[in-house]
């Protein structure tokens, strides 16, 4: 087993992790900073791979609307309001106040943000925000940020280990602080000797491992996003928060493309494998075609699902149609029944006109969804064709609710400190800064703001800490755990176990959630857990990821079952056959659920978030 010593250990390879490592080194140039990432550094994880039609980085700059000195206050209020008032106000303030500096840092590194003729950043309005704050480079904003950060960190004395997976955090004897971590070299993971198992002794650590899309069957994440940070922090004793809030959006099963924006505004047919249009049967019986298709159009601006938008009826319809045993498709080859372009509201027709890229005749516009899509977003047609979906030939886009972003995570303070000493968190791995939802573009910004804070605070704390020794018994326990996973006679194969957990979560903790479904899901999860599992042809790291998915699945289902209301992407139904979810209940549920490890298992506590001062909030709402 290889041993390593460092002042700051950063776990992860995306934007938050790299920013944390850079900040740690900038805060203390003498500190030994180590970064470990499970994938190939700079080419794996969400920041390095995510794309969209115009990916946003939310920032309040000196000239950002409304152009006042305190314009950050409107940004903070949007974060808190869009989050459903179940996040910490002080963290929203930190995000808003530091977003401009985060943008300037990246701009200085050469991220090619689109600028106006006067040199200012071009900014646009994203979902739910009152003012234009979204900066961008184009579809690859996140990729450009990753590239710039990678280039920067390579100029610094930071030791980087890729293909090295976190297996467990190590805590002090009293369990109050993190003193290191175990890692597994995934390229030598079939043997625990030599390079396989690694020990990192650290004065402070930053968790920035991203989300857990891999816990669900359909997701838009790259491979390897299995909630390793959530699970390791939980087992070490850290608190997590808001784990029931997961952004879920209708996406292409084949390509993982988010079917938002123009994909909906073209008004395709929603059909099952028999070609039957099914949307109308899940809407209220008196819904007119005009109302139905205006809702489809508006779905383009309300992706992912949200209790606060009527377009959630579409997500519910797709989920229920799939749950009843059907496959669901978007068909662009012909108009849906009863559709006429002029039946769209004047507002929606105006929005359509504003998006035209390659104008067609009014007759063509009314002819088919394909003609409308080639008018407002011809690039999407080409992109799909490059990914083996040819809409021009009438091929349909298979559709499903896909996991897009975890809103919650390891609970942090304004210093990015977790409830454990020596442990910090940033990015999607962290929780409390966003509530049920977030403004579009805030995730990228969050990774940079709290990435910087986490890294610099970890470096400062490390200066005051003596490097502790790791007891030999902990090393023996870790070896024993891994050796058990390599015993092919124990329990289920990891691949089989993972598929079963993914099916459970996708059935009971996706768009439609009920007490009955979540209770049954937890019982099924416990039965699977009792059987145990072993590494299969996918390898030891895959088996460890699967164990992490078990922990994440329990967090999601337990917290979802406690919250008996609907808020953001959490739609809670009295029973599966109900047409509408329960309403939002601010009187009882404007609170968050905190998860921790208790002596008898997972413990959940309902708490009051940090609230804004009344005078400040009333000023914002004036």
- Average pLDDT of span 49-75: 90
Q: How far apart are the first and last CA of the chain?
A: 62
* pLDDT score of 418 more than 60: yes
Mean pLDDT, range 17-34, rounded to an integer: 98
Q: String of b and e for 432-452 (b: at least 16 CB within 10 Å)?
A: bbbbbbbbbbbbbbbbbbbbb
Listed residue (7, 12, 6, 23) closest to 153, CA to CA:
23
- What is the average pLDDT across 119-145? 91
Mean pLDDT across the chain: 94
* Residue 279: per-residue pLDDT: 97
Q: What is the pLDDT of residues 194-252, one digit of tens each?
A: 448 999 999 999 999 999 999 999 999 999 999 999 999 999 999 999 999 999 999 99
pLDDT band, very low/low/confident/very high, at 613 (cuts 50, 70, 90) = confident
CA distance 162 to 86: 36
What is the average pLDDT across 473-501?
94
**Sequence spans of domains, the chain:** 2-245+407-462, 250-403, 472-591
Based on DSSP, count helices (H) and strands (E) in the chain, helices before strands.
Answer: 21, 22
Question: Using CA atoms, how far apart are residues 249 and 260, in angstroms rounded to an integer?
Answer: 8
Please provide the DSSP assignment of 237-298 as one string.
T--EE-TT-EEEEEEETTT--B--THHHHT--EEEETT--B-HHHHS-TT--HHHHHHHHHH
Out of 65-69, 422-426, 493-497, least confident range: 65-69
Mean pLDDT lowest for which of 17-26, 153-162, 184-193? 184-193
2-245+407-462 against 472-591: fold identical: no
pLDDT at residue 356 tops 60: yes
pLDDT per residue as tens digits for the range 562-584: 999 999 999 999 998 998 999 99
Separation of alpha carbons 210 and 225, rounded Å: 7
Q: Is residue 467 within 8 Å of 510, Cβ to Cβ?
A: no
Question: In the CATH hierarchy, which top-level class contains the domain 2-245+407-462?
Answer: alpha beta
Q: Select from 1.10.600.10, 1.10.10.60, 2.60.40.10, 1.20.58.100 the CATH code of 472-591.
A: 1.20.58.100
Name residue 405's beta-bridge partners: 247
pLDDT at 166: 98
Q: Give the pLDDT band (50/70/90) at residue 17.
A: very high
pLDDT in tens, 257-288: 889 889 999 999 999 999 999 999 999 999 99
How far out from the chain centre does Cα 180 lie? 26
């Amino acid at each position: 087993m290889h041993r390593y010593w460092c002042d700051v250990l950063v776990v992860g390879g995306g934007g938050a992790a790299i920013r944390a490592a850079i900040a740690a080194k900038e805060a203390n140039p003498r500190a030994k900073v180590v970064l470990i990432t499970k994938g190939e550094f700079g080419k794996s994880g969400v920041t390095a791979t995510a794309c969209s039609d115009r990916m946003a980085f939310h920032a309040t700059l000196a000239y950002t609307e409304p152009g006042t000195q305190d314009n950050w206050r409107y940004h903070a209020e949007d974060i808190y309001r869009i989050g459903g008032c179940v996040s910490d106000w002080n963290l929203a303030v930190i995000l808003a106040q530091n977003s401009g500096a985060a943008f300037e840092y990246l701009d200085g590194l050469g991220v090619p943000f689109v600028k106006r003729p006067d040199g200012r950043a071009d900014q646009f309005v994203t979902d739910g925000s009152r003012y234009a704050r979204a900066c961008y480079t184009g579809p690859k904003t996140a990729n450009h940020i990753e590239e710039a950060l990678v280039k920067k960190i390579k100029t610094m004395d930071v030791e980087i280990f890729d293909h090295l997976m976190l297996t467990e955090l190590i805590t002090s004897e009293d369990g109050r602080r993190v003193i290191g971590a175990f890692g597994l070299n995934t390229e030598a993971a079939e043997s625990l000797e030599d390079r396989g198992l690694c020990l990192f002794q650290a004065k402070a650590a930053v968790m920035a491992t991203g989300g857990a899309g891999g816990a669900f069957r359909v997701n838009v994440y790259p491979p390897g996003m299995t909630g390793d940070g959530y699970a390791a922090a939980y087992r070490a004793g850290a608190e997590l928060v808001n784990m029931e809030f997961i952004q879920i959006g209708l996406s292409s099963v084949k390509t993982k493309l988010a079917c938002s924006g123009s994909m909906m505004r073209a008004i395709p047919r929603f059909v099952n494998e028999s070609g039957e249009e099914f949307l109308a049967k899940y809407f209220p019986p008196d819904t007119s075609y005009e109302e139905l298709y205006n809702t489809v159009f508006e779905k383009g601006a309300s992706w992912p699902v949200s209790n606060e938008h009527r377009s959630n009826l579409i997500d519910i319809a797709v989920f229920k149609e799939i749950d009843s045993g059907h496959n669901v498709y978007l068909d662009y080859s012909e108009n849906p029944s009863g559709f006429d372009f002029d039946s769209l509201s004047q507002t929606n027709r105006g929005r359509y006109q504003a998006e035209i890229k390659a104008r067609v005749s009014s007759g063509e516009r009314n002819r088919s969804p394909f003609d409308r899509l080639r008018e407002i977003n011809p690039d999407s047609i080409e992109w799909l064709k490059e990914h083996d979906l040819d809409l021009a030939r009438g091929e349909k886009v298979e559709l499903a609710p896909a996991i897009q972003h975890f809103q919650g995570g390891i609970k942090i303070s304004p210093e990015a400190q977790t409830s454990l000493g020596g442990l910090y968190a940033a990015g999607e791995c962290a929780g409390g800064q966003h509530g049920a939802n977030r403004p579009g573009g805030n995730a990228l910004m969050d990774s940079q703001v709290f990435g910087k804070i986490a890294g610099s605070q970890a470096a400062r704390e490390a200066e005051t800490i003596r490097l502790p020794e790791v007891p030999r018994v902990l090393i023996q326990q870790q070896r024993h755990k891994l050796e058990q996973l390599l015993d092919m006679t124990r329990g289920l194969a990891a691949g089989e176990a993972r598929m079963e957990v993914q099916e459970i979560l996708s059935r009971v903790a996706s768009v439609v959630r009920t007490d009955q479904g979540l209770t049954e899901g937890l019982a099924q999860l416990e039965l699977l857990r009792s059987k145990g599992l072993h590494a299969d042809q996918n390898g030891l790291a895959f088996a460890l990821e699967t164990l992490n998915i078990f922990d994440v699945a329990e967090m999601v289902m337990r917290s979802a079952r406690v919250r008996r209301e609907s808020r953001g992407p959490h739609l809670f139904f009295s029973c599966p056959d109900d047409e509408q979810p329960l309403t939002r209940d601010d009187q009882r549920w404007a609170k968050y659920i905190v998860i921790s490890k208790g002596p008898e298992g997972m413990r959940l506590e309902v708490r009051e978030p940090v609230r804004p001062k009344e005078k400040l909030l009333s000023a914002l709402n004036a």
